Protein backbone atom coordinates (compact mmCIF):
# COMPACT_ATOMS: atom_id res chain seq x y z
CA UNK A 1 0.00 0.00 0.00
CA UNK A 2 2.47 2.64 1.16
CA UNK A 3 5.28 1.10 -0.89
CA UNK A 4 3.86 2.44 -4.15
CA UNK A 5 3.70 6.05 -2.86
CA UNK A 6 6.42 8.29 -4.24
CA UNK A 7 7.30 10.34 -1.15
CA UNK A 8 8.94 13.19 -3.12
CA UNK A 9 5.79 13.53 -5.19
CA UNK A 10 3.69 13.37 -2.02
CA UNK A 11 5.80 16.09 -0.39
CA UNK A 12 5.72 18.37 -3.44
CA UNK A 13 2.12 17.99 -4.55
CA UNK A 14 0.23 17.20 -1.35
CA UNK A 15 2.17 19.05 1.31
CA UNK A 16 3.50 22.07 -0.59
CA UNK A 17 1.01 22.75 -3.41
CA UNK A 18 -2.28 21.45 -2.03
CA UNK A 19 -1.16 22.06 1.57
CA UNK A 20 -0.92 25.76 0.72
CA UNK A 21 -4.43 25.59 -0.70
CA UNK A 22 -5.63 23.81 2.45
CA UNK A 23 -4.04 26.49 4.61
CA UNK A 24 -5.83 29.22 2.65
CA UNK A 25 -9.06 27.21 2.87
CA UNK A 26 -8.79 27.04 6.66
CA UNK A 27 -8.10 30.78 6.81
CA UNK A 28 -11.08 31.58 4.60
CA UNK A 29 -13.43 29.46 6.70
CA UNK A 30 -12.20 31.10 9.91
CA UNK A 31 -12.33 34.63 8.44
CA UNK A 32 -16.05 34.19 7.80
CA UNK A 33 -16.64 32.85 11.35
CA UNK A 34 -17.79 29.45 10.07
CA UNK A 35 -17.27 26.40 12.31
CA UNK A 36 -14.22 24.16 12.02
CA UNK A 37 -16.23 21.09 10.93
CA UNK A 38 -16.74 22.73 7.53
CA UNK A 39 -13.09 22.00 6.79
CA UNK A 40 -13.94 18.29 6.61
CA UNK A 41 -16.10 18.18 3.44
CA UNK A 42 -13.91 20.76 1.72
CA UNK A 43 -10.84 18.66 2.53
CA UNK A 44 -12.41 15.68 0.76
CA UNK A 45 -13.01 17.86 -2.31
CA UNK A 46 -9.48 19.25 -2.20
CA UNK A 47 -8.19 15.69 -1.78
CA UNK A 48 -10.09 14.70 -4.94
CA UNK A 49 -8.28 17.43 -6.86
CA UNK A 50 -5.01 16.29 -5.38
CA UNK A 51 -5.72 12.68 -6.36
CA UNK A 52 -6.57 13.79 -9.90
CA UNK A 53 -3.23 15.62 -10.25
CA UNK A 54 -1.38 12.60 -8.84
CA UNK A 55 -3.06 10.24 -11.26
CA UNK A 56 -3.11 12.44 -14.34
CA UNK A 57 0.41 13.85 -14.18
CA UNK A 58 2.36 11.18 -12.33
CA UNK A 59 0.73 7.94 -13.52
CA UNK A 60 -0.85 7.14 -10.19
CA UNK A 61 -3.46 4.48 -9.68
CA UNK A 62 -7.05 5.77 -9.79
CA UNK A 63 -8.19 3.01 -7.47
CA UNK A 64 -5.61 3.67 -4.73
CA UNK A 65 -7.97 4.81 -1.96
CA UNK A 66 -5.28 4.56 0.71
CA UNK A 67 -3.26 7.26 -1.05
CA UNK A 68 -6.40 9.40 -1.45
CA UNK A 69 -7.29 9.08 2.24
CA UNK A 70 -3.71 9.85 3.25
CA UNK A 71 -3.90 13.03 1.16
CA UNK A 72 -7.23 13.98 2.73
CA UNK A 73 -5.94 13.44 6.27
CA UNK A 74 -2.87 15.61 5.65
CA UNK A 75 -4.93 18.35 3.98
CA UNK A 76 -7.54 18.25 6.75
CA UNK A 77 -4.85 18.59 9.43
CA UNK A 78 -3.33 21.60 7.66
CA UNK A 79 -6.71 23.28 7.16
CA UNK A 80 -7.79 22.71 10.78
CA UNK A 81 -4.48 24.14 12.00
CA UNK A 82 -4.92 27.22 9.80
CA UNK A 83 -8.52 27.59 10.97
CA UNK A 84 -7.51 27.63 14.63
CA UNK A 85 -4.57 30.02 14.12
CA UNK A 86 -6.74 32.41 12.15
CA UNK A 87 -9.60 32.21 14.62
CA UNK A 88 -7.27 32.96 17.54
CA UNK A 89 -5.84 35.97 15.71
CA UNK A 90 -9.28 37.18 14.71
CA UNK A 91 -10.82 36.91 18.19
CA UNK A 92 -7.95 38.80 19.83
CA UNK A 93 -7.89 41.45 17.11
CA UNK A 94 -11.63 42.01 17.06
CA UNK A 95 -12.14 41.98 20.85
CA UNK A 96 -8.90 43.37 22.34
CA UNK A 97 -10.62 44.67 25.49
CA UNK A 98 -11.85 41.16 26.40
CA UNK A 99 -9.23 38.69 25.14
CA UNK A 100 -5.47 38.34 24.88
CA UNK A 101 -3.29 35.77 23.13
CA UNK A 102 -2.38 32.68 25.11
CA UNK A 103 -0.19 31.06 22.48
CA UNK A 104 -0.42 30.40 18.79
CA UNK A 105 -3.68 28.45 18.90
CA UNK A 106 -5.58 29.94 21.81
CA UNK A 107 -6.73 33.03 23.66
CA UNK A 108 -7.88 33.82 27.18
CA UNK A 109 -9.87 36.47 28.96
CA UNK A 110 -7.85 39.44 30.14
CA UNK A 111 -7.28 39.64 33.85
CA UNK A 112 -9.22 42.43 35.55
CA UNK A 113 -6.99 45.30 36.57
| Residues in Cβ contact with 71 at an 8 Å cutoff, skipping those fewer than 6 apart | 10, 14, 18, 47, 50, 51, 54
**17 vs 42: CA distance, rounded Å:** 16
DSSP 112: P
Query: Which range marks the domain in which residue 56 is found?
Result: 2-83
**66 vs 31: CA distance, rounded Å:** 32
Whether the Cβ atoms of residue 50 and residue 14 lie closer than 8 Å to each other: yes
Residues 12-55: pLDDT tens digits?
999 999 999 999 999 999 999 999 999 999 999 999 999 999 88
Q: Give domain status of residue 95, yes or no.
A: no
**pTM of the shown model:** 0.89
Q: Give domain status of residue 109, yes or no.
A: no
At 7, the pLDDT band (50, 70, 90 cuts) reads confident
Q: Give domain status of residue 38, yes or no.
A: yes
Q: What is the number of structural domains in the chain?
A: 1
Amino acid sequence: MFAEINWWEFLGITVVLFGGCAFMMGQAIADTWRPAWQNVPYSFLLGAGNHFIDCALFSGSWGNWVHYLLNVIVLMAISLFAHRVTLARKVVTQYPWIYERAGLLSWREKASA
